[in-house]
A = this chain, B = another copy of it.
């Protein structure tokens, strides 16, 4: 009798040690998200991927939003690396500047769902909070752009001006291009690469 009870498979998944389980949840959520998009990344789906009940997720994250925000943060972290890598083998200031902008758009296009998740507000959360809020890496990324603008000014390629306002304007333009290529690619008559180059030309000439 007692040995029969022992042969019953344990229903409960043993607890993870340290931050092991949290990382496991995040990895599963990221995997599902990248493969099936936001809509596929439900709490129940993530939990079943981890092999845990949906309630267990709430031990490590206050709500679904927090999981998505963690994914967005990881995306920003990667973006920083890509931006840095884009500066390698660049000899001229303008070349480095253009490479950075190009890298931003291309990184967004390479992972459209991540880009949407990070920047585009979802219908729920009326308070307007975005995953990219309160992520320090977001500020770092902007600082990279702004210092690029200042380098362009010092090199005489850009007229003097408010580097913050100019960087924000440029970011808006790049962001728009990324979003539009992601969501409206089939409506565009121009190839994405051509649009990117045209955008870079407009930026460089526009502030030069």
Chain A interfacial positions (CB closer than 8 Å to B): 36-40, 116, 119-126, 128, 130, 132-133, 162, 164-166, 168-169, 171-181, 183-184, 187-190, 194-195, 198-199, 201-207
Contact of A165 with B177 in the complex, beta carbons under 8 Å: no
Distance between Cα atoms of A124 and B123 in the complex (Å): 10
Contact of B199 with A169 in the complex, beta carbons under 8 Å: yes
Copies per assembly: 2
Contact of B183 with A165 in the complex, beta carbons under 8 Å: no
Given A174-B176, A179-B176, the answer on whether A201 and B195 have CB atoms closer than 8 Å is: no
Contact of A165 with B194 in the complex, beta carbons under 8 Å: yes
Closest A-B pairs by Cβ, 7 of them: A176-B176, A202-B206, A206-B206, A173-B173, A38-B123, A172-B177, A175-B176
Given A172-B180, A205-B205, A207-B202, the answer on whether A37 and B126 have CB atoms closer than 8 Å is: yes
Distance between Cα atoms of A132 and B179 in the complex (Å): 14
Given A122-B122, A128-B183, A172-B199, 14 more pairs with CB closer than 8 A:
A36-B126, A120-B120, A121-B183, A130-B184, A168-B180, A168-B188, A168-B195, A169-B190, A169-B195, A169-B199, A172-B179, A176-B179, A176-B180, A202-B206
Contact of A202 with B169 in the complex, beta carbons under 8 Å: yes
Say how far A66's CB is from chain B's closest CB, in angstroms: 16
Distance between Cα atoms of A128 and B112 in the complex (Å): 11
